[in-house]
Amino acid sequence: MKHSSAHEKSSQLHTVKTVLKRVGRYRPFILLSLLSAALSVAGSLYIPVLTGRAVDHVLGPGRVDFRGLVSVLIAIGITMLVSSLFQWIMNVSNNHITFNVVKDIRREAFEKIQALPLSYIDSNSHGDIVSRVIADADQFSDGLLMGFTQLFTSVLTILGTLLFMLTINPWITLAVVLVTPLSFFVASFIAKRTYRMFALQSKERGRLTSLINEMIGNEKTVQAFGHTDEALRDFDDINSSLEKISLKGLFYSSLTNPCTRFVNSIVYALVGVTGAAAAIRGMLSVGQLVSFLSYANQYTKPFNEISGVVTELQNAIACAARLLALIDEPSQSTDPDTPLSCGNDAGTKSVEFRDVCFSYNKNVPLIEHFNMSAKPGTRTAIVGPTGCGKTTLINLLMRFYDPDSGKILTDGIDTKEMKRDDLRSLFGMVLQETWLGNGTVRENIAMGKPDATDEEIINAAKLSHADSFIRRLENGYDTVLTGNGDTLSAGQKQLLCIARLMLALPPMLILDEATSSIDTRTEIKIQDAFAKMMQGRTSFIVAHRLSTIKNADSIIVMKDGHILEQGTHKELLSKNGFYSTLWNSQFN
Please tell me whether residues 289 and 181 are part of one structural domain. yes
Report phi then psi at 372, rounded to 5: -155, 145
268 and 365 fall within a common domain? no
Q: What is the DSSP letter of 476?
A: G
| pLDDT surpassing 50 at residue 227 | yes
Q: Are 537 and 477 in the same domain?
A: yes
d(CA 532, CA 520) in angstroms, rounded, equals 19
Where do runs of H (alpha helix) occur along 356-477? 390-397, 420-425, 441-445, 454-463, 467-472
Are the CB atoms for 495 and 515 separated by under 8 Å? Answer: no
| pLDDT-derived band at 85, boundaries 50, 70, 90 | very high
The C-alpha torsion from 53 through 59 and 62 to 64, rounded to 10°, is -30
- State pLDDT tens for residues 476-526: 899 888 766 677 887 888 888 888 888 888 888 888 876 766 777 777 777
Q: Can you tell me the mean pLDDT for 221-237? A: 77
Higher pLDDT, 87 or 125: 87
* Stretch 184-207: mean pLDDT: 73
Identify whether 200 is part of a domain. Answer: yes
Answer whether residue 61 is part of any domain: no
CA angle 420–421–426, rounded 5-degree value: 100
Residue 421 and residue 318 share a domain: no
Residues of the domain holding 578: 351-587
Indicate which CATH number applies to the domain containing 227.
Answer: 1.20.1560.10
Last residue of a domain, one of 259, 294, 327: 327
**How big is the CA angle at 299 (ends 293 and 302), to the nearest 5 degrees?**
140
Please work out, in degrees rounded to the nearest 5, the angle formed at the alpha carbon of residue 542 by the alpha carbons of 224 and 556. 135
- Look at the alpha carbons of 262, 265, 271, 273 in this order and tell me if their dihedral is positive or negative: negative
Assess whether 237 and 136 both reside in one domain: yes
- Rounded to a whole number, what is the largest CA-CA distance in the chain? 124
Is pLDDT above 70 for 588? no
User: Residues 355, 312: one domain?
Assistant: no
- Domain boundary (327, 361, 391) is at 327
pTM of the model: 0.65
**Considering the domain boundaries, does residue 76 fall inside one?**
no
Residue 87 lies in a domain: no
Query: In Å, what is the CA distance from 7 to each residue of 3, 15, 132, 185, 196?
Result: 6, 12, 21, 22, 12
| DSSP designation for 514 | T
pLDDT above 60: residue 216: yes
Backbone angles phi, psi at 434, to 5 degrees: -85, 155
Residues 477 and 511 in one domain: yes
Q: Is residue 92 part of a domain?
A: no
Q: Are residues 422 and 569 in the same domain?
A: yes
Last residue of a domain, one of 327, 343, 365: 327
3-state secondary structure of 414: strand
Which residue from 554, 549, 471, 457 is spatially nearest to 501, judged by alpha carbons? 457
Kindly report the length of the chain.
588
Residue 522 lies in a domain: yes
Same domain, 429 and 478: yes
Q: Please tell me whether residues 319 and 412 are part of one structural domain.
A: no
Q: Please state, for a pLDDT cut of 70, what percent of the chain lies above it.
A: 88
Mean pLDDT, range 97-125, rounded to an integer: 84
The strand pairing partners of 511, in sequence order, are 430, 541
CA distance 15 to 506: 45
Name which residue leads in pLDDT, 448 or 540.
540
Q: Is the dihedral of CA 52, 53, 59, 63 positive or negative?
A: negative
d(C-alpha 281, C-alpha 192), whole Å:
46
> Tens digits of per-residue pLDDT, 37-54?
888 888 887 877 777 777
Q: Helices marked H in 338-466 — which ranges?
A: 390-397, 420-425, 441-445, 454-463
Give the model confidence (pLDDT) of 572-586 as tens digits: 888 888 888 888 877
Are residues 478 and 454 in contact, defined by beta-carbon separation less than 8 angstroms? no
Is residue 16 domain-resident? Answer: no
* 387 lies in the same domain as 312: no
Determine the pLDDT at residue 224: 66
- CATH at 454: 3.40.50.300
Best-predicted range by mean pLDDT (82-86, 178-182, 259-263, 317-321): 82-86
pLDDT at 9: 63
In this structure, the dihedral spanned by the alpha carbons of residues 66, 83, 297 and 191, taken in order and rounded to 10 degrees, is: 180
The domain total for the chain is 2
Whether residue 321 is found in the same domain as residue 355: no
What is the distance between the alpha carbons of residues 104 and 21, in angstroms, rounded to a whole number?
12
Question: Is residue 360 assigned to a domain?
Answer: yes
